[in-house]
Amino acid sequence: MDFEEFLLKVGKNIQKVRKDKGLTQENMDEGDYAVPVRTLQDIEAGRANFTANSIFKLSKRLKVKPRDLLDI
């Protein structure tokens, strides 16, 4: 697996977890640990090299462990 494929798989995993929780991308941009919609769109599409801070915020917002988002 190359890096681009890794980003895409992690992004799709984040998207799946978010949808399983019944949240929209807009919902993720609200409240504590908000992630901007554009940032989330780029991460889910595999276009962004996410940061540890992004994974931390996403895991807190989705109420999962960071490893659950990275487990591909």
What is the pLDDT at residue 72? 87
Question: Residue 59 pLDDT more than 90?
Answer: yes
pLDDT over 90 (residue 19): yes
Domain range enclosing 29: 1-68
Backbone angles phi, psi at 10, to 5 degrees: -65, -45
Q: Is 44 exposed, middle or buried (0-12, 13-18, 19+ CB in 10 A)?
A: buried
Q: How far apart are CA 37 and CA 56, in angstroms?
A: 16
Looking at every residue in the chain, the average pLDDT score rounds to 96
What's the domain count of the chain? 1
* Among the listed residues 20, 72, 19, the one whose alpha carbon sits nearest the alpha carbon of residue 46: 72
Using pLDDT thresholds of 50, 70 and 90, give the confidence band for residue 39: very high
Q: What is the pTM of this model?
A: 0.94
| CB neighbours of residue 25 within 10 Å | 17
Look up the CATH number of the domain holding residue 54.
1.10.260.40
The pLDDT score that the predictor gives to residue 17 is 98
